[in-house]
Amino acid sequence: MTIAAVLPAASEVTMLYGGALASGALAGHISLFGHRFGSGLDAYLAVVVAGLVGNTFGAAVGWLIGERGGHPLLVRYGRYVHITPQRIERAERWFNRFESVAVPLGFATPLVRSFVAIPAGMFEVGFGRFFLSAVPGIAAFCAAIAGIGWGVGANWHAAHTDLQYVEAAVVAVVLGIVSYWLFRRRRSITIGNGAADSSR
């Protein structure tokens, strides 16, 4: 989660997995600051707190990178992470226009969230303002995605049973399509050979 604050490092998958682990559906345990949790609400809250702390720390580091390095850093190394000068200009316009909601909304939004901290530092959003607006967005993201993981994990056995029927239906449909295609192909070859024989 720390890395995911500045690079797209699958924070969604991490929090989904943590939520499912906290529900008790998967083998394993939750450990936070040396305290071991089983499963249940305490484990879910531990996952959310761990995600919040890690992501907030990473966001602070990202803000510092943006504030210290600024435009030269992104212009020089941005191409390695698909950041072009046009994207930098677009991000700056966006930050200037929506500064009050850019940080919390950005950190609450999947996929976008890894591209908020460095630009915020680069475009001179004050650290105090950045931190206070980043924490609610990060908390909302962690709670929501871990909650989805919890819900999926809690219903895993029922979902797994239902999915077995779906898998069987998909296999039957695929086999039907392949059989039909083979039948049509064989028939067109037979008809083609018959036409060739009759023309002789």
pLDDT 10s digits, 183-199: 777 777 666 665 555 55
The average pLDDT across 134-157 equals 84
Cα torsion 193, 195, 197, 199 to 10°: value is: -150
pLDDT-based confidence at 160, cuts 50/70/90?
A: very low
Q: Does residue 192 share a domain with residue 93?
A: no
Q: Does residue 164 share a domain with residue 107?
A: no
CB 49 within 8 A of CB 32: yes
Q: Which of 136, 154, 172 is the last residue of a domain?
A: 154
Q: Does residue 107 share a domain with residue 176?
A: no
Q: Does residue 29 share a domain with residue 56?
A: yes
Q: Does residue 81 share a domain with residue 55?
A: yes
pLDDT above 70 (res 154): no
Determine the pLDDT at residue 61: 92
Q: Does residue 128 share a domain with residue 49?
A: yes
Task: Kindly report the pTM of this predicted structure.
Answer: 0.67
How many domains does the structure of the chain reveal?
A: 2
Q: Does residue 141 share a domain with residue 83?
A: yes
Q: Does residue 105 share a domain with residue 45?
A: yes
pLDDT above 50 (res 175): yes
pLDDT above 50 (res 59): yes
d(CA 165, CA 134): 43
Q: Does residue 66 share a domain with residue 105?
A: yes
The mean predicted confidence, pLDDT, of the chain is 77
**Structural domain range at position 147:** 3-154
CB 19 within 8 A of CB 44: yes
Q: Does residue 122 share a domain with residue 61?
A: yes
CA-nearest of 137, 152, 119 to 13 is 152
Q: Does residue 8 share a domain with residue 74?
A: yes
Using a 10 angstrom Cβ sphere, with 0-12 exposed, 13-18 middle and 19 or more buried, the burial of residue 153 is buried
Q: Does residue 102 share a domain with residue 9?
A: yes
- pLDDT tens readout for residues 19-52: 888 887 665 667 666 777 777 788 888 889 999 9
